A and B are shown apart, each in its own frame.
Chain A
Amino acid sequence: MEGGRNSARLSRQLFPPSVNYLARWILFLIFSGITTATVIFYYGYRSDWWQGQQMAPDQPILFSHHHHVTELKIDCRFCHSTVDQSSFAGMPATSTCLTCHSGVFTDSPMLAAAVQSEQTGTPLKWNRVYDLADYVYFDHSVHVSNGIGCTSCHGDIGNQRLTRKAQQTYMSWCLDCHRDPAQYIREPKDIYSPSAPARSNLTENRKVELLHQFRIGGQHLTDCTTCHR
Chain B
Amino acid sequence: MSSMKTWRSLDELAGSRELDTWLRDEFPAGAAWLDHQELGSTEIRRRKFIQLMGASLGLAGLTSCGRQPQEKIVPYVDQPENTVPGVPKYYASAISFRGHARGILVESHSGRPTKIEGNPDHPASLGATDAVAQASVLGLYDPDRSKTVLHHGRISTWDKFDEAHREILQRHASESGAGYGILIEPTSSPTLKRLLGEMLTSYPKAKIYQHSGVAPTAPQPTVNFSKPDLILSIDDDFFTNHPDSLRYIREFTSRRKSGSKLNRLYVIEPTPTLTGAKADHRLAVRPSRIELVVNALTDSSIQLEPHESRFVESLRDDLKKFEGKTLIRIGSHLSPNLKKLRSKSIQGQTPPDTITGFPGLDRLTNDLTGGAIQSLLILGGNPIYNTPGDIPFKNALRFATFTAHLASHEDETSLACEWHLPEAHSLETWGDLLSYDGSPSICQPIIEPLYNGRPAICILKPEKAPYELVRNTWQLLGNYTDLTFDDFWKKSLYQGCASPEALRKASTLPTYTETDESSDYNSSLREDQIDLVIQPHPHIGTGEGANNGWLQELPHPFTKIVWDNAALVSPEFAKSRKLKNGDIVRLNQSIEIPIWILPGQADETVTLHTGYGRIAAGELGNGVGTNVFPLGHAKRISSLSNTGKTGELVTTQHHSMMEGRELYWQIDRNHPTNERPPEVPNITLYQNPAELLNGRYAWAMSIDLSSCIGCNACVTACQAENNIPVVGKEEVARGREMHWIRIDRYFIGENESDPRIVYQPVTCQHCEQAPCEVVCPVEATVHTADGLNAMVYNRCVGTRYCTNNCPYKVRRFNFFDYRIKKGKNDPRSLQANPNVTVRGRGVMEKCSYCVQRIQRAVIQADREQRRVREGEIRTACQQACPSEAIIFGDLRNEMSAVARQRKDNSAYSLLGDLNTRPRTIYLAEQTNRHV
Which residues of A come within 8 Å of B, CB atoms? 45, 50, 52, 57, 82, 84-88, 90-96, 117-118, 121-128, 131, 133-135, 137, 139, 141-142, 145-146, 214-216, 218-220, 223-226, 228-229
Cα A146 to Cα B75 with chains together (Å): 26
B695 and A220 contacting across the interface, CB-CB below 8 Å = yes
How near does chain B come to A83, taking the closest CB pair, in angstroms? 10
Tell me which of B74, B696, B859 contacts A142 (CB under 8 A): B859
Residues of B within 8 A of A125 (CB): 72-74
Chain B 68-122 residues near chain A, CB threshold 8 A: 68, 70-79, 84-87
Excluding A95-B77, A145-B865, A146-B862, 15 further A-B contacts by CB distance (< 8 Å) are: A82-B84, A86-B85, A123-B76, A125-B73, A126-B75, A134-B837, A142-B859, A218-B696, A219-B695, A220-B696, A223-B784, A223-B790, A228-B792, A229-B837, A229-B855
B835 lies within 8 A of chain A by Cβ: yes
Cα A224 to Cα B74 with chains together (Å): 30
How near does chain A come to B729, taking the closest CB pair, in angstroms? 30
A86 and B70 contacting across the interface, CB-CB below 8 Å = no
B75 and A93 contacting across the interface, CB-CB below 8 Å = yes
What are 15 A-B interface contacts by the 8 Å CB criterion? Answer: A82-B85, A90-B75, A123-B74, A131-B68, A134-B837, A135-B793, A218-B696, A219-B695, A220-B695, A223-B788, A224-B782, A224-B784, A225-B784, A225-B848, A229-B855
B792 and A224 contacting across the interface, CB-CB below 8 Å = yes
B852 lies within 8 A of chain A by Cβ: yes
A142 and B72 contacting across the interface, CB-CB below 8 Å = no
Tell me which of A86, A121, A229 contacts B84 (CB under 8 A): A86
A229 and B77 contacting across the interface, CB-CB below 8 Å = no
Residues of B within 8 A of A219 (CB): 694-695, 785
B73 and A91 contacting across the interface, CB-CB below 8 Å = yes
Tell me which of B75, B836, B855, B865 contacts A124 (CB under 8 A): B75
Residues of A within 8 A of B346 (CB): none
Residues of A within 8 A of B694 (CB): 219
Known: A86-B86, A225-B851. A91 touches B75 (CB 8 A): yes
Q: Give the number of residues in B that approach A within 8 Å (Cβ atoms).
A: 42
Q: Which residue on A lies nearest to B795, using beta carbons?
A: A224
A93 and B78 contacting across the interface, CB-CB below 8 Å = yes
How near does chain B come to A192, taking the closest CB pair, in angstroms? 15
Q: Which residue on A lies nearest to B77, using beta carbons?
A: A94
Known: A228-B793, A229-B848. A220 touches B835 (CB 8 A): no
A88 and B85 contacting across the interface, CB-CB below 8 Å = yes
Residues of B within 8 A of A96 (CB): 79
Known: A223-B786, A224-B784, A229-B836. A94 touches B76 (CB 8 A): yes
A123 and B75 contacting across the interface, CB-CB below 8 Å = yes
B863 lies within 8 A of chain A by Cβ: yes
Chain B 677-714 residues near chain A, CB threshold 8 A: 694-696
Cα A92 to Cα B85 with chains together (Å): 11
Report the 3 A-B pairs with minimum CB-CB distance, sorted nearest first.
A88-B86, A86-B86, A223-B784
Residues of B within 8 A of A92 (CB): 75
Cα A84 to Cα B836 with chains together (Å): 22
How near does chain B come to A141, taking the closest CB pair, in angstroms? 6
B518 lies within 8 A of chain A by Cβ: no
Cα A61 to Cα B344 with chains together (Å): 79
Cα A85 to Cα B77 with chains together (Å): 20
Q: Which residue on B lies nearest to A118, using beta carbons?
A: B77
How near does chain B come to A7, taking the closest CB pair, in angstroms? 38
B859 and A141 contacting across the interface, CB-CB below 8 Å = yes
Residues of A within 8 A of B794 (CB): 135, 228
Residues of B within 8 A of A215 (CB): 862, 865
Cα A69 to Cα B862 with chains together (Å): 28
Residues of B within 8 A of A122 (CB): 77
* Secondary structure call for the B interface: loop
A218 and B785 contacting across the interface, CB-CB below 8 Å = yes
Which residues of B come within 8 Å of A, CB atoms? 65, 67-68, 70-79, 84-87, 694-696, 782, 784-786, 788, 790, 792-794, 835-837, 848, 851-852, 854-855, 859, 862-865
A131 and B788 contacting across the interface, CB-CB below 8 Å = no
A82 and B86 contacting across the interface, CB-CB below 8 Å = yes
Residues of A within 8 A of B72 (CB): 125-128
A90 and B85 contacting across the interface, CB-CB below 8 Å = yes
Residues of B within 8 A of A93 (CB): 75-79
How near does chain B come to A153, taking the closest CB pair, in angstroms? 16
How near does chain B come to A188, taking the closest CB pair, in angstroms? 11
Residues of B within 8 A of A88 (CB): 85-86
Q: Which residue on B lies nearest to A50, using beta carbons?
A: B67
How near does chain A come to B881, taking the closest CB pair, in angstroms? 22
Residues of A within 8 A of B786 (CB): 220, 223
Residues of A within 8 A of B793 (CB): 135, 228
Tell me which of B782, B790, B837 contacts A135 (CB under 8 A): B837
Cα A96 to Cα B77 with chains together (Å): 9
Residues of A within 8 A of B74 (CB): 123-126
B835 and A229 contacting across the interface, CB-CB below 8 Å = yes
A123 and B77 contacting across the interface, CB-CB below 8 Å = yes
B862 and A145 contacting across the interface, CB-CB below 8 Å = yes
Cα A24 to Cα B171 with chains together (Å): 98
Residues of A within 8 A of B76 (CB): 93-95, 123
Q: Which residue on A lies nearest to B70, using beta carbons?
A: A127
B86 and A87 contacting across the interface, CB-CB below 8 Å = yes
Known: A94-B77, A95-B77. A128 touches B70 (CB 8 A): yes
How near does chain A come to B819, taking the closest CB pair, in angstroms? 11
Q: Which residue on A lies nearest to B83, using beta carbons?
A: A82
How near does chain A come to B453, taking the closest CB pair, in angstroms? 24
Cα A134 to Cα B839 with chains together (Å): 11
B855 and A228 contacting across the interface, CB-CB below 8 Å = no
A214 and B848 contacting across the interface, CB-CB below 8 Å = no
Q: Which residue on A lies nearest to B794, using beta carbons?
A: A135
Cα A214 to Cα B788 with chains together (Å): 24
How near does chain B come to A87, taking the closest CB pair, in angstroms? 4
Q: Which residue on B lies nearest to A84, using beta carbons?
A: B863
How near does chain B come to A65, taking the closest CB pair, in angstroms? 15
Cα A13 to Cα B862 with chains together (Å): 78
Q: Which residue on A lies nearest to B867, using beta carbons?
A: A215
A220 and B86 contacting across the interface, CB-CB below 8 Å = no
Q: Which residue on A lies nearest to B859, using beta carbons?
A: A142
A117 and B848 contacting across the interface, CB-CB below 8 Å = no
Cα A214 to Cα B79 with chains together (Å): 32
Cα A52 to Cα B71 with chains together (Å): 13
How near does chain A come to B764, taking the closest CB pair, in angstroms? 13
B86 and A117 contacting across the interface, CB-CB below 8 Å = no
Cα A92 to Cα B76 with chains together (Å): 8
Q: Which residue on B lies nearest to A121, using beta carbons?
A: B77
Tell which of A86, A121, A137 has the most Cβ of chain B within 10 Å: A137
B77 and A228 contacting across the interface, CB-CB below 8 Å = no
Residues of A within 8 A of B78 (CB): 93-95
A85 and B71 contacting across the interface, CB-CB below 8 Å = no
Residues of A within 8 A of B854 (CB): 225
Q: Which residue on B lies nearest to A94, using beta carbons?
A: B77
A57 and B790 contacting across the interface, CB-CB below 8 Å = no
How near does chain A come to B253, taking the closest CB pair, in angstroms? 31
How near does chain B come to A126, taking the closest CB pair, in angstroms? 5
Residues of A within 8 A of B859 (CB): 139, 141-142
Cα A185 to Cα B852 with chains together (Å): 26
How near does chain A come to B528, taking the closest CB pair, in angstroms? 62
Residues of A within 8 A of B788 (CB): 223, 225
Residues of A within 8 A of B848 (CB): 225, 229
How near does chain B come to A61, taking the closest CB pair, in angstroms? 12
Q: Which residue on A lies nearest to B780, using beta carbons?
A: A224
A142 and B863 contacting across the interface, CB-CB below 8 Å = yes
How near does chain B come to A100, taking the closest CB pair, in angstroms? 16
How near does chain A come to B890, taking the closest CB pair, in angstroms? 13
Cα A112 to Cα B401 with chains together (Å): 59
Cα A18 to Cα B82 with chains together (Å): 81
A226 and B70 contacting across the interface, CB-CB below 8 Å = no
How near does chain B come to A128, taking the closest CB pair, in angstroms? 4
How near does chain B come to A23, taking the closest CB pair, in angstroms? 24
Residues of B within 8 A of A220 (CB): 695-696, 784-786
How near does chain B come to A101, taking the closest CB pair, in angstroms? 14
Q: Which residue on A lies nearest to B864, using beta carbons?
A: A145
